[in-house]
Chain A
Amino acid sequence: AQKVTQAQTEISVVEKEDVTLDCVYETRDTTYYLFWYKQPPSGELVFLIRRNSFDEQNEISGRYSWNFQKSTSSFNFTITASQVVDSAVYFCALSEGLNTGNQFYFGTGTSLTVIP
């Protein structure tokens, strides 16, 4: 079974629009970590955020914000006032256990295109 589901395969928005990328995860562990990565065309993964299962506080970093809800096993990512440079593939990932050094389970990714 897929541990991380990103239902949105592709999203297109016009510049300056807000966009939310969905991520639903599945785990039986009580301790786990969730991540978001950005993968531009170069292929290199760019780390965006790490969240542990005990911290449900939402986080904002500039135009980026994350909504972690354990009740629905979701960890959604919102980009406010999108820009062309935000165009990339975004991956949500899960790492189970006490530390982030364990295997990552990646979602299938959401390809975001921001149209100028």
Chain B
Amino acid sequence: GAVVSQHPSWVICKSGTSVKIECRSLDFQATTMFWYRQFPKQSLMLMATSNEGSKATYEQGVEKDKFLINHASLTLSTLTVTSAHPEDSSFYICSARGTSGRSNEQFFGPGTRLTVL
């Protein structure tokens, strides 16, 4: 089956620093990637949708200048949390939608646990 990876799987950083999370589709090309955020004991909430080669579309209430998303290739999307603060501590999950042949499927990455001290 299709595999989506995320790196790192967990990260601890100091308040004020920036953190980059990578989402890769390992065996297929992903025209669209989604970024979700999950706070403890809560559901997954969509943050943004990124399409390869174009700007990401952010959900209401998500600061685009704080959560920078880059989808520069068909196999890689990155989420950068800029000037992270403790309230940004969360579990970040990406998912990838395939191109033709896999356009009807979406696959989730294993998630990245961010802790901001």
The finding on whether chains A and B are genuine partners in a shared complex, rather than unrelated, reads yes
Of A45, A100, A107, which one neighbours B93 at CB under 8 angstroms?
A45
* Neighbouring A residues of B38 by C-beta, 8 Å: 43
Quick check: B43 and A106 within 8 Å, CB to CB?
Answer: yes
**A106-B44, A107-B43 given; A100·B91 CB < 8 A:** no
Binary contact track A89-108/B, C-beta < 8 Å → 1, others 0: 00100010001111110111
Q: How far is the CB of A70 from chain B (nearest CB, A)?
A: 20
**Closest Cβ neighbor of B95 among chain A residues:** A104
Which A21-80 residues sit within 8 Å CB-CB of chain B? 37, 42-45, 47
Q: How many residues of B contact A (CB 8 A)?
A: 24
**A43-B113, A95-B106 given; A101·B97 CB < 8 A:** yes
* Neighbouring A residues of B95 by C-beta, 8 Å: 104
Considering the chains assembled together, what is the distance between the CA atoms of A108 and B42 in angstroms?
6
Binary contact track B67-106/A, C-beta < 8 Å → 1, others 0: 0000000000000000000000001010101100001111
Can you list 27 contacts pairing A with B, beta carbon distance less than 8 Å? A37-B108, A43-B38, A43-B110, A43-B111, A44-B111, A45-B108, A91-B43, A91-B44, A99-B103, A100-B105, A101-B97, A101-B98, A101-B103, A101-B105, A101-B106, A102-B97, A102-B106, A103-B34, A103-B46, A103-B49, A104-B36, A104-B44, A106-B44, A106-B45, A108-B42, A109-B43, A111-B41
Say yes or no for B29: interface residue by CB 8 A criterion.
no
Q: Chain A: interface secondary structure?
A: loop
Say yes or no for B50: interface residue by CB 8 A criterion.
no
Q: How far is the CB of A110 from chain B (nearest CB, A)?
A: 11
